[in-house]
Chains A and B, each alone.
Chain A
C-alpha cells in the first residue's frame, strides 16, 4: 500500500487529489478487517471500534485464603467454640509456613494426648509443602464441660504453641418442649425494612399503626449480633451457618471452618441442625426459599463447604441421605438439569430431577402444579432456573421480558403452607426453614420497593405458620430473624405535589405526614405501588447511583462498569439525582452492614429470646426448645467425600 509521503513526493499532476483521497480514506482501509468494523447498525447509534490487537490474557483464578507469611499454628474448631454435647465435628490442627518439617508435634485435649482422647490419630498431611496438618474426621465431645486443647510444634528454630478452650453443653430443656421448629430468615431484613413493610402494608392513623405485621405480633423479641470469626461484616453463608451449627465461620463458608487447602469441600465440618434433627430424632426437614435452593441460606442449614458458590457440590449433599430434606422448594433448577438441556448449569449429564424422583420425591415446577400436588411424602418444587422473581414482578408488573417463561410462580406463603402439609405427617416433628431470600437481593441494588414488598410476602408466610401452629397444638417454636443488616433507612416521605422534585421533595419531620398507600382489598399489599406520597428511603452505604424516587416496572442495575470503576447506571429512569458513592468504586452494589438484627419468636422456647444475643445462640435455643440429645443416633459424617 502507498504511503501518503510517497504520493506527495511523486511528480504526478493529480498528486494533490490522490493525496487528499488517500489521507481521507486512510482510516477506512482497515475497516474490512475482521473485528475492526465501524458503522452504524440496528441499534441506530454510531458505532465505535472496540476490537484491538492486544495479547490474550487468561482469566485470573479465584483468590483463596490469604495466609500469613510467618510460621503459624491454627486449631479448628477455634477458641471459644461451643458444642452441643455429642454433636459431630472434624478436628484439625495446621502448622503453616515452616522452614523444615516439625520434629515435635504435641497436641492434648483435656490433658490427654489427642490420639488417646479421640481414639484416632486421624491423618497427617503436608498440604503446601511448608505445612503440616493433622485431621481427625467425625469426632465428638460427649460430656458437658470446658475443654482445653493445647498444641506445641517445633520445626527447626521455630517453636509454636497455642491453647484454645471449648465449651460443651447439653440441651437445657425449656419449660415447654417444642415438637417442631419453623425458622424464618428474612435475608438482610434489618429493622428499618420491617418498619417500612409495616407502614406500607398497614399504614397509620394519627401515629398509631392500623395493624402490626405478623412478625411483630409474637411473644419474644431479641437483638442478634451477626459478626463472623474473621470480620465484623458477614455474608449470608456465614451468618446462616451460625444459626444452623452454633459455630462462627468466615464469609462464603457454611458448616465448616476455613482450612489451608484449595479444595473448598474438604474443610473441617461441624454438624448442622438438619443433620442433627434427622439422626437424633428422625424428624422431617423442609427448606423453602424464594432464592435458589443452592443459595447460602437454605444450603447452610445442611451443607458443608468453604465456598458458597459450589452449587453442584451442594446439590450432591442435598442427595446425601443424612442431609436430605423432605421438602425442598425455591428456584435454581439449572443446577439439576443435564448439561445437554438448554438452561442447565451442570457440567455433566446427570439429571437430578430424575434422581430425586427415584428417591420418592414428587416434583413440581409451577404454582398450578404445587396447588395440585396434595401432600406427598417428599416434595421437590423448583419454579425458576435461577432465583425466583420478586413479588412485584411475579404478581404486579408481570412483564414478559422479566418473567420470561416463568409466569406461574408460587408465593412464599403458598410454598410455606404446602411444606407444612407435607412435614406435619412425620410423627417425630419437623424443622422448617423458610427464607425471604430476595429481600437482600433487592437491597443490594438499592431497590427499596422490591425489598419491602418481598418482606410483606414473607410476613404473610409467617402468618400462615402462626395460624398452622395454633391449629396444631401450639407446640411449634416459630422464629423470625434476619441474618445480617442492610443500610436502608426511612427518612420520611417523598411528595412532588407542590412542584418540588428530587431532594427538595423529600419531606422530613412534620412535613413528612403519612404515605398514602391504601389496601382496600385487604391482601396485605397496597393496591397501588406508585402513590403520590411514597416513603423517602435513603441508604447509608452505596456506589454512585441515581435516586429518582420513582417506581421501576422491572429491576434495573444501579451501576454499570466503566474500566475498573462501577458508575451510576443512567437507565434508572429520570436519572437526575446522583448520589455520589461512599463505597470504593470497586463495589457495584450496596453492601451488608454490621448492626444487630431483630428477632421475634413465639411458641415453646420463645422465652429464651429476650436480650442481645450472639447469632450462634439461635442454634442452641432451637436445640433447647426441641430438647435435642446429640449423643443419639449414627454420625451423618460416615460417608466421606
Chain B
C-alpha cells in the first residue's frame, strides 16, 4: 500500500514537473509573437499628424497592414450581452455612441471583428486583441459601421 502510495506521489511529482513545462511552453509561444515590437500597436502610433482636414496614417500603421498585430485598449460600451464585433478605444467611454444621439466616436478607434461563429462578452476591463490588421475605409456588411482601421481578431483577452 505504502509502495503504491509512493509510486502515486512520484507520478504526481513527475506529472507536475511535466505540467510546469507544458504550462510554460504554451504561453511562451504566444510571448514570442507579442514580444516582436513591430507587431505591437499603440493608439498613439496610429497617426503621424494631420489635423481638421484629415489625419495622416503613420508609417508603422501602414507597414502592419495585413499583418498580425497586438493591440490593447478598452471596449466601447456595447449594446448587447454578446458581441461579434466591438470598437476598441484608447480610454473607457462613458457614452455609448451606438445608442446615444449626442455621442460621436473619437477618431482613434479600431473596429474589431470576432472570428466567424464566435462572440465576446463585454467588459469594462482593459482588453488585448491579437489579429490581422486591415486598413482602409470599409463598411461592415452586417452592421453598416464605417471603419478605417480594423482587426480581424484571432484572440481577445481581458487584462485583470
Contact = CB atoms under 8 A, between A and B. Distances in A.
Interface of A: 14, 16-17, 20-21, 24-25, 28, 31-32, 34-60, 62, 235-236, 252, 292, 295-296, 307-309, 311, 333-334, 337, 339-345, 347, 353, 365-366, 382-387, 400-401, 404-406, 444-445, 556-564, 566-567, 569, 571, 588-589
B124 A567 contact: yes
A445 B26 contact: no
Interface in B83-129: 84, 90-96, 98-99, 101-102, 104-108, 114-115, 117-124, 126-128
B99 to A, nearest CB: 7
A235 B102 contact: yes
A365 B55 contact: no
B59 interface: no
Contact of B118 (A53, A292, A387, A566): A53
Main secondary structure of the interface of A (DSSP, over half): loop
A28 B26 contact: yes
Nearest to B27: A39
Contact of B77 (A57, A383, A588): A588
B38 interface: no
A43 B159 contact: yes
Interface in B10-58: 11-12, 14-16, 18-19, 22-23, 26-27, 30-31, 34, 40, 44, 47, 49-57
Given A21-B18, A43-B159, A309 B124 contact: no
A560 B54 contact: no
Contact of A28 (B7, B23, B121, B127): B23
Nearest to A25: B22
Contact of B51 (A53, A311, A365, A560): A365
Contacts of B153: 35, 51
A51 B114 contact: yes
Given A296-B102, A343-B107, A571 B92 contact: yes
B92 A343 contact: no
19 contacts: A17-B11, A37-B154, A40-B27, A41-B30, A43-B128, A50-B120, A51-B118, A52-B82, A235-B102, A309-B102, A337-B54, A339-B146, A343-B148, A347-B146, A404-B107, A557-B94, A561-B78, A563-B122, A588-B94
Nearest to B136: A340
B8 interface: yes
A78 B70 CA distance: 56
Contacts of A28: 22-23, 26
Contact of B50 (A16, A20, A34, A342): A342
A149 B107 CA distance: 49
Given A35-B118, A51-B118, A343-B55, A309 B101 contact: yes
Given A39-B26, A339-B137, A405 B80 contact: no
Contacts of B94: 445, 557-560, 566, 569, 588-589
Contact of B159 (A47, A55, A339, A340): A47
For the complex of A and B, 9 pairs with smallest distance between CB atoms: A557-B94, A560-B124, A37-B155, A47-B157, A20-B15, A17-B11, A341-B54, A365-B52, A333-B52
Given A25-B19, A386-B106, A37 B99 contact: no
Interface in B47-77: 47, 49-57, 70, 72, 74, 77
B79 A60 contact: yes
Contacts of B101: 252, 307-309
Contacts of A342: 47, 50, 54-57, 148
B47 A20 contact: no
Contacts of B53: 333, 337, 341, 353, 365
Given A37-B130, A334-B107, A56 B124 contact: no
Given A20-B11, A34-B154, A571-B92, A345 B104 contact: yes
Contacts of B16: 20, 24
Interface residues of B, number: 82
Interface of B: 7-8, 11-12, 14-16, 18-19, 22-23, 26-27, 30-31, 34, 40, 44, 47, 49-57, 70, 72, 74, 77-82, 84, 90-96, 98-99, 101-102, 104-108, 114-115, 117-124, 126-128, 130, 137, 139, 142-143, 146, 148, 153-160
A48 B160 contact: yes
A42 B142 CA distance: 31
Nearest to A333: B52
B156 A292 contact: no
A401 B102 contact: no
Contacts of A38: 157
Contacts of A562: 123-124
B8 to A, nearest CB: 6
A57 B82 contact: yes
B30 A51 contact: no
Contacts of A365: 51-53
Contacts of B115: 34-35, 51
B56 A401 contact: no
A503 to B, nearest CB: 23
B16 to A, nearest CB: 8
A345 B155 CA distance: 28
B81 to A, nearest CB: 7
Given A56-B84, A343-B50, A42 B143 contact: no
Contacts of B93: 557
Contact of B81 (A45, A296, A563): A563
Nearest to B123: A50
A46 B157 CA distance: 9
Contacts of A14: 11
A493 B22 CA distance: 59
Contacts of B139: 347
Contacts of A563: 81, 122
Given A47-B157, A561-B77, 9 more contacts: A25-B22, A43-B72, A59-B98, A296-B102, A308-B101, A337-B54, A345-B105, A347-B139, A353-B53
Contacts of B72: 41-43
Given A58-B142, A343-B55, A404 B108 contact: yes
Contacts of A307: 101
A54 B119 CA distance: 6
